[in-house]
Amino acid sequence: MKKIFATTLILSSIYSSTLDLGIGVGDMSYPDYLGSNHTNRTILPFPYIDYHSKKIDIDQDGLKERLFSIDELRLRLSMSGSLPVRSSGAREGMDNLDISGEIGPAIIYELYKKDGITLKLDFPIRAVISTNFKEMRYRGYKYDPKLAIDYNFLDGYIFQFKTGGVWADSRFQNYIYGVEREFVTENRAKYKAKAGYMGYKTSIGISKKFNRVWAGASIIYYDLDGAVSKDSPLFNKNYGVYSGLFIAYLFDEKFYKNIKNLFKD
């Protein structure tokens, strides 16, 4: 942990930059998986990191670095994930879905930036790793190229809109939709998924910093019509909705002074 803070502070001293750290909590609603008709709700804490310099940005979208001295082109460390769910409904009696993390590179190209509006293309590809806290397993990869619009308005409000398709390899599709022989029942046939289209994703979010508080909300809608695994016995809904509310407290100057004094000692 000390090394992480030290690296961040060193970066802050090298570049003309801004840095905000904090801690927050989010209230989220989400399905077991895309195509499931069972919805979960949970409240989780999360760290808040917002760092911007001439070469590197770190925010809720991940870590981004400018490429080849081209202002419009950036490389981003793309991250996502899903929470664990107990098998129920169509998956009753099957293995639970473990908590998973997704990580990989993404190339971002800014098409337009003016008057608070940024229009960009985002091309990420991420490996999926799941864990039950006893072992980790590689679950395949996903890629979801998208068009993104950021709009800063009304003195600090940020509106975000993203839209694009989602694809995955057969390994990931089978992790979600596959049915092995041991899990076959009278109402659940054996099924082997193949690589391909998973659905069309559209997300809308709004957030704002209020002094030392950051708050916002987001909703993600998946249109699953035409998904390659739609004929799986585990697939029973043609859309998926994820939503969340979040709030974070941002540390004040006293916090940063205490961290610097810690490294002096």
13 band by pLDDT with thresholds 50, 70 and 90 = very low
pLDDT of residue 56: 83
Residue-wise pLDDT tens digits, 66-115? 766 577 888 888 999 999 999 999 999 999 999 999 999 999 999 999 99
Q: Does the pLDDT of residue 159 top 50, yes or no?
A: yes
pLDDT confidence of residue 255: 74
Question: Per-residue confidence at 5, pLDDT binned at 50, 70, 90?
Answer: very low
Please give the pLDDT value at position 15.
Answer: 43
Q: Where are the domains of the chain?
A: 2-264
Whole-number mean pLDDT of the chain? 89
* pLDDT value, residue 72: 83
pTM score: 0.86
* Residue 12: pLDDT band with limits 50, 70, 90: very low
- Position 55 scores a pLDDT of 77
- Interior angle at CA 239, CA 237 and CA 242, nearest 5: 115
The model's pLDDT over 115-153, given as tens digits with 9 standing for 90+, comes to 999 999 999 999 999 999 999 999 999 999 999 999 999
* pLDDT cut 70: percent of the chain above it: 90
Helix (H) or strand (E) holding 128: strand 117-131
Could you give the 3-state DSSP secondary structure of residue 10? helix
pLDDT at 6 over 50: no
CA-to-CA separations, 171 to 127, 160, 201, in angstroms, rounded = 11, 31, 21
Note the pLDDT of residue 264.
66
Q: Is residue 8 over pLDDT 60? A: no
Nearest residue to 150 (alpha-carbon basis) of 224, 55, 60, 83 = 60
Residue burial 90-107, b: 16+ Cβ < 10 Å; e: rest: bbeebeebbebbbebebb
Q: What is the pLDDT of residue 68?
A: 60
pLDDT for res 135: 95
Band (pLDDT 50/70/90 cuts) for residue 53 is confident
Position 14 confidence tier, pLDDT thresholds 50, 70, 90: very low
pLDDT at 60 over 80: no
Q: In this model, does residue 212 exceed pLDDT 70?
A: yes
User: Quick check: 257 and 27 in contact, CB under 8 A?
Assistant: no
Would you identify the CATH topology of the domain 2-264? Outer membrane phospholipase (ompla); Chain C (2.40.230)
The answer to whether the beta carbons of residues 57 and 71 sit under 8 Å apart is no
Percent of the chain with pLDDT over 90: 72
Question: How large is the average pLDDT for residues 216-221?
Answer: 98
- Who has greater pLDDT, 50 or 216? 216
